[in-house]
Amino acid sequence: MADTRLLGNAHNTLHIRMSHTMTQRSHEVTLHRSPIAGINAMELASNHSFPRHTHDEYGIGVVLSGAQRSWSSVGQVESLPGDVITVNPGELHDGIPINGTVRRLADHLFRSEGPEAIRPETTREIEFVSPSLRDPLLGQHVNLLFGRLAGGAERLSVDEILTEVLKRLVSANFPAFNESRRFTPPVAKARARIEEDPSSQTTLSELAALSGVSRYQIVRAFSRELGTTPHAYLVQCRVRLARQLLLNGATMADVAQRAGLRTRAI
């Protein structure tokens, strides 16, 4: 039996609760309205295991309790209470609770098209390179930022603590930003082909020929550098395209056609 509830309160939050009494699964999400456009604050309490997926935004969060294991661009990482977690736009990752217990996360999502909110004073393309950071001071700042975002604090107050968070992330002693990670030429060429037109169909032979390697090598390279297969990466790109089309007001039928998503007749 499952129970799902949507709750609101005076702080303009959306609370989603799902409990499964038969399987002892729990999943609660609280979304908070932010005083800054392009920044969202979300609190998650869940023992669900999330499959590999991507976001369109940069993400900064902190583990409040419990622990989780996740795959990232640098391999498997574990995050414990107080650890800061980060993710880049389009970066594949997953999330698995350690020992199946509920973990609570306070997350902030930043639109990638809002450089003034997430980037330091540079025009370079940047990337988080540390998916899990054990730094008490940074964790305290991220918690404070979440409290101000969720509490509806004034813009100036939020800007101040956000600046402190980014300052800590880009400090010379603890660099968590870097120029975008470079992939090997075969993977870079195959990714570019998929991302250029995810709605169109392709074949492994096409990607391999384009990349100058064998079909076996391109599959191995994707698995090693992206943690997924070419087809799974194509599906993720289609899902992101569909999400953007929906946000722009397209109909479901139009989205399915333009994003290359197949529909089944009932």
Predicted confidence at residue 91, as pLDDT, reads: 82
Q: Which of 76-85, 164-173, 232-241 has the least mean pLDDT? A: 164-173
Nearest to 81 by CA among 46, 106, 99, 112: 106
What's the length of the chain? 266
CB 82 within 8 A of CB 134: yes
Q: What is the band of 8 on the pLDDT scale with cuts at 50, 70, 90?
A: very low
What percent of the chain has a predicted confidence (pLDDT) above 70? 79
Whole-model pTM: value is: 0.70
pLDDT of 9 reads: 43
Residue 72 pLDDT class (50, 70, 90 cuts): confident
CATH fold for the domain made of 2-179: Jelly Rolls (2.60.120)
Q: Which residue has the higher pLDDT, 56 or 80?
A: 80
Amino acid at position 231, single letter: H
As assigned by CATH, the class of the 185-258 domain is mainly alpha
Residues carrying CATH 2.60.120.10, the chain: 2-179
Residues of the chain with CATH 1.10.10.60: 185-258
Query: pLDDT value at position 109?
Result: 81
